[in-house]
Structure 1
């Protein structure tokens, strides 16, 4: 009986401590979920694929596209070879790609 009482008092003390910790976290603007001691699930970047995509800090980002130059190709209809690359929030830059299309390249 004494063991049960001691365990019950310990469990009660832990619950009270967690309650005060949670209330303090809420008052300080901290997410209450952090108090529950559950691991945060990181974003899975395994599906972060394609020229414009890059996983940065476990977030799949779509880069901003920048057209860098163009060439007019001979023939009818007139076509354009447009060169471009992507840039992401971490300052990285993709390789240069190109596309051939029947309208002028964007700036």
Structure 2
């Protein structure tokens, strides 16, 4: 599965690179109201948009990643607490066997 993901990433990169190399014309870029930049190669604009989109996508995954880390830490604490209780319980559960006059059921009916 890991190799498949890397092959998919490589394929996307190659497709974007080939698309960018075919579009090397000079363009005029207008930012917001009065900012104007002229004669920028389209490949640079496309690369900047690709990088900005990738960074934005990664930033969107940060909250979920932090939430998973907090949940993992809580589960590890619960596991350690359960292990500590499991060590203590058998020592406390050692009681005397029932006396001979106690009738124990043979079946759980």
TM-score by length of 1: 0.26
| Structure with the higher fraction of residues in strand conformation | 1
| Structure with the higher fraction of residues in helix conformation | 2
Greater gyration radius: 2
